[in-house]
Structure 1
């Protein structure tokens, strides 16, 4: 992700999250957070060449990658793009030395929970009233990212 991606990132952010990150938060992440890693997925081909379809990011602290955001443009969901972004984030985190990944997910976001479970994430806790609208978050963690089941 680059600064010139942020207009499209914010368009998706506002469309998919009830409480989106701010533009200044993303600017900070890209320019000042040396523990933050972000990527974007863009469309290839003739139709809408270069359209930003999704993005994701994580913070790396020692051997733990905390996935802090993952979003797919409305109209492009349920096509496997979120899964590809998740896999890319995990691969990148492992390449940087991560062996554990964590994230929070809205208790109401069953499709995301199902995707994360597919990749070894287990529910390890709950954050009460975590989101600004007072919705709880599930804490999910995947251990052993460098073990054979993850690398196979």
Structure 2
């Protein structure tokens, strides 16, 4: 009985992770707003308001990520600082490999849909993103 329960729990945990395909990667493009961060110990930090938003542009598994600042007129303020990104797909898993002049690091894509992005870094910190709501004050 314990073995059966263990197998059920194990399959549930393993099935929570999405198999990422080339087709899914196109969903990465565009603007993403951080919704919450989950630490390895289970602690969560919710983000109600974001001063910056991430913008991804990826074609043929190469591209960049930039931090942009939403403006009251609905536009985004940006600068020339960006992180180069390479998407590595292997056996249903996808990793984002980032590189700047000063550092390089990697994140695993846990879930990627049109409206949701979840990535986990090498420190086992999970970042949950959503598409930002469009707004404008004119």
- TM-score tier, shorter chain, comes to under 0.3
Instruction: Say which structure is richer in helix.
Output: 1
TM (norm. structure 1) is 0.24
Larger Rg: 2
Higher strand share: 2
